[in-house]
Amino acid sequence: MLNTITKLRYPDGTEVAFEDWTDQPLYSTCEIEHGATRNEINLFQYTVGGTVPGASAVAVTQRTADERDTNMSQAGTMASTEEFLVYAIKPEVFTLENSTRGNFTSSLAPQNATGEPIPSPVQYGVLNEALILILEISMKRYAQAGFGYFNTGFGPFGSANSGVSGDAAGKTYGAAGLPSQEAVRSFVIPQHMGGQEKFRVQLLNPTGQALNVGNAEQGAQTVSGGGAGSTNPNVFVRIRVLLDGLHKRPVS
């Protein structure tokens, strides 16, 4: 008979029993358009049918969330019958476009322009330099570091030239670290979220600087009429943050 883990004991003596636990992430999504200066975006504060947070340099029309955006059963809190042990945080980044600036319901994605929805190294650089990611549980910060500290561990990796007519420079692609589970930075001690406990993930832009994700390296995007080397203000990134770990969700 194989041995199985039935209980986890924390250094302070607290114990968590593993009943109805599954290896299933929680995830939530936001969208940031070129030039956005918003200081704070809160994730995990909505469920399917709610509003996906969006940031832009102009007035924003936000999307209605579906199963791609979140799997939260309650907004901003664990259900009374649920618990979660967070072992890692994994942000996914996608490059997309709006047909109307600031209107996230009018996205032309996916793959309207060359390479979409794969982000570029420049876009990762903008996000890594400007943003701080925070995990807050019961109003206490349990994780805080630059966006680039958290490696997704999967997805496209490397670079390529996909030059087409009118865009001879092509485009390069990037990923947040190696697409390998061994590259993920796991917590030394998993963070516990109990039933009815409130939590959120914040993306902070402390300086309020413009997040220029549509800059020159993204010249393949041509909604604004520019070619290679131009800036496209309609470009945005969709960030889906996954909390990876063990999820207690009783079947009954």
**Higher per-residue confidence, 3 vs 215:** 215
User: H helices within 4-143, ranges in order?
Assistant: 121-130
Select from 36, 215, 208, 207 the least CA-distant residue to 124: 215
Q: For the segment 158-169, what is each residue's pLDDT rounded down to a tens digit?
A: 655 555 544 545
Cβ atoms 90, 242 nearer than 8 A: yes
Maximum C-alpha span of the chain: 65
- As a whole number, mean pLDDT of residues 70-98 equals 94
Cis peptide bond prior to 110, omega within 30° of 0: yes
- What torsion, rounded to 10 degrees, do the Cα atoms 177, 212, 112, 180 define? 10
The backbone torsions φ and ψ at residue 106, rounded to the nearest 5 degrees and listed phi first, read: -105, 25
User: Domain coordinates of the chain in residue numbers?
Assistant: 26-248
pTM: 0.83
SS3 43: strand
Return the percentage of the chain with pLDDT > 70, whole number. 76
| Residue 142 to residue 245: CA distance in whole angstroms | 15
Place of tokens 């914040």: 202
